[in-house]
């Protein structure tokens, strides 16, 4: 059966085109940038093993000889990566990065070129498992201290250029405060290749009937599910005491120092600073935010700047909320936009919060965000 009046061949071509588009989405990597890096690495590997036929094509499905040969090429690629030095860090490539590269390349080669490959790639899987077990740092995250409320208050009290009134200083401090208050990854506050960061249109200031003032900021989680970007999540920021940890004040201060017309709000990065050359203003980068966090830590007396980074605000915010003893794991996970329970790693739990958890169930109240924002569904 086919649509009335539509030739069979035209319908077949349409179905094949639609099926191909759907398969492309199904096989699409979570990060096209990571796949590009993997392909570049594989190209360099190919230059070093010119005498080897990298992949054998097969005229029939289930060609065991071709499958074994092609799997062994990826095994050799892993061995080469273990000896390679990262151009970005100047250090050996991390085991977790190797595992990601191999996973992306295997799917890419199978789909794009239809190379034969064992279904479970047993030797490749065992090899990566052995490498991970031999690596004492595998699964560990870089050490990062949390930039907490007390740090923001100490920085504000100290004053100086880091808390200055110029637009760039206001922007950097507002970005750090937002990272703390909204558990934001550094990348979530920036616009980068393949990721649309928040704009001025994503920030609104509101006042309740009783005079309570607050801001709503819509943040898009940095990590993807499949090929699609996650939906933006509304974050509420209440006005506080006007000190360095009052993120409502820091955001108002930033907007006043660097105003943007309503017509340009949706196309203007929320956190923007002057470009190195010219008079243009561009989205703050993760590197700039990281440097600012380290400068702030140094300004309030911390010597080892390496222990601070773009995730420090996220860690500090999670720690501060957990330490109040009034935040459930559900709230911690939802506020931090964690899809898994990794938020527990970020929040340095205290004894007080553990003891208070048993009392929280009797204090539950308030409308959820899905009631207030009908178009929003919490799914991250």
Predicted local confidence at residue 3, as pLDDT: 52
DSSP SS3 for 77: helix
Predicted local confidence at residue 344, as pLDDT: 55
Distance (Å, whole) CA 74 – CA 121: 10
Superfamily of domain 149-372: Intergrase catalytic core (1.10.443.10)
Residue 361 pLDDT class (50, 70, 90 cuts)? very low
Domain layout of the chain by residue ranges: 31-134, 149-372
Report which of 196, 197, 215 is spatially closest to residue 205, judged by C-alpha positions: 215
- pLDDT higher at 341 or 355: 341
Please provide residue 109's backbone torsions phi and psi, each rounded to the nearest 5 degrees.
Answer: -70, -40
- pLDDT value at 4 more than 70: no
Distance (Å, whole) CA 177 – CA 69: 54
Predicted local confidence at residue 218, as pLDDT: 92
Q: Say if pTM beats, i.e. exceeds, 0.85.
A: no
- pLDDT higher at 200 or 41: 200
Predicted local confidence at residue 83, as pLDDT: 86
Most confident of 1-5, 226-230, 256-260, 304-308: 256-260
- pLDDT value at 363 more than 90: no
Predicted local confidence at residue 358, as pLDDT: 42
Predicted local confidence at residue 5, as pLDDT: 57
Average pLDDT, the chain: 80
Distance of CA 216 to the CA centre of its chain: 21
Report which of 327, 317, 316 is spatially closest to residue 354, judged by C-alpha positions: 327
SS3 readout for 61-75: CCCHHHHHHHHHHHH
Q: What is the pLDDT of residues 234-252, one digit of tens each?
A: 888 899 989 999 999 999 9
Predicted local confidence at residue 99, as pLDDT: 86
- pLDDT value at 200 more than 80: yes
For the chain, the residue count is 380
Picking from 3-7, 39-43, 44-48, which range would have the lowest pLDDT averaged per residue?
3-7
- pLDDT higher at 17 or 318: 318
The token pair at 6 is: 């539509």
Picking from 31-35, 161-165, 172-176, which range would have the lowest pLDDT averaged per residue?
31-35
Residue 354 pLDDT class (50, 70, 90 cuts)? very low
Q: What is the pLDDT of residues 121-167, one digit of tens each?
A: 788 888 888 887 776 544 445 567 889 999 999 999 999 999 999 99
Report, as an integer, the average pLDDT of 257-263. 95
**Which residue shows structure tokens 């740092």?**
137
Report, as an integer, the average pLDDT of 52-56. 88
Contact 139, 280 (CB under 8 A): no
Most confident of 32-41, 71-80, 135-144: 71-80
Residue 362 pLDDT class (50, 70, 90 cuts)? very low
């Amino acid at each position: 059966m086919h649509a009335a009046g539509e030739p069979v061949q035209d319908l077949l071509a349409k179905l094949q085109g639609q099926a191909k588009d759907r398969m492309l989405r199904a096989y699409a990597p979570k990060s096209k940038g990571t796949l590009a890096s993997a392909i570049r690495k594989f190209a360099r590997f190919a230059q070093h093993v010119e005498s080897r036929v990298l992949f054998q094509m097969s005229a029939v499905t289930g060609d065991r000889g071709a499958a074994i040969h092609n799997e062994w090429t990826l095994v050799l690629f892993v061995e080469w990566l273990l000896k390679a030095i990262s151009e970005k860090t100047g250090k050996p490539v991390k085991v977790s990065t190797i595992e990601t590269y191999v996973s992306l390349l295997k799917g890419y080669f199978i789909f794009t070129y239809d190379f034969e490959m064992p279904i479970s790639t047993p030797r490749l899987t065992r090899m990566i498992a052995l490498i991970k077990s031999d690596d004492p740092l595998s699964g560990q995250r870089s050490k990062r201290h949390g930039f907490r409320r007390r740090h923001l208050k100490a920085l504000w009290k100290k004053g100086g250029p880091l808390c200055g009134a110029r637009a760039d200083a206001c922007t950097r401090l507002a970005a750090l405060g937002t990272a703390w208050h909204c558990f934001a990854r550094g990348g979530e506050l920036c616009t980068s290749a393949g990721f649309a960061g928040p704009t001025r249109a994503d920030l609104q200031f509101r006042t309740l009937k009783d005079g309570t003032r607050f801001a709503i900021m819509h943040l898009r989680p940095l990590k993807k599910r499949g090929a699609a970007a996650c939906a933006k999540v509304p974050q509420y920021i209440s006005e506080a005491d006007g000190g360095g940890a009052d993120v409502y004040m820091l955001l108002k201060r930033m907007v006043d120092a660097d105003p943007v017309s309503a017509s340009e709000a949706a196309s203007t990065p929320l956190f923007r600073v002057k470009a190195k050359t010219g008079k243009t203003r561009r989205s703050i980068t993760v590197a700039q935010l990281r440097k600012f966090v380290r400068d702030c830590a140094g300004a309030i007396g911390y010597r080892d700047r390496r222990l601070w980074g773009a995730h420090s605000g996220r860690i500090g915010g999670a720690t501060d909320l957990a330490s109040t003893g009034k935040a459930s794991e559900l709230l911690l996970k939802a506020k931090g936009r964690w899809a898994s329970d990794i938020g527990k790693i970020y929040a340095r739990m205290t004894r007080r919060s553990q003891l208070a958890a048993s009392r929280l169930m009797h204090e539950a109240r308030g409308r959820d965000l899905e009631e207030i924002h009908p178009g929003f569904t919490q799914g991250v």
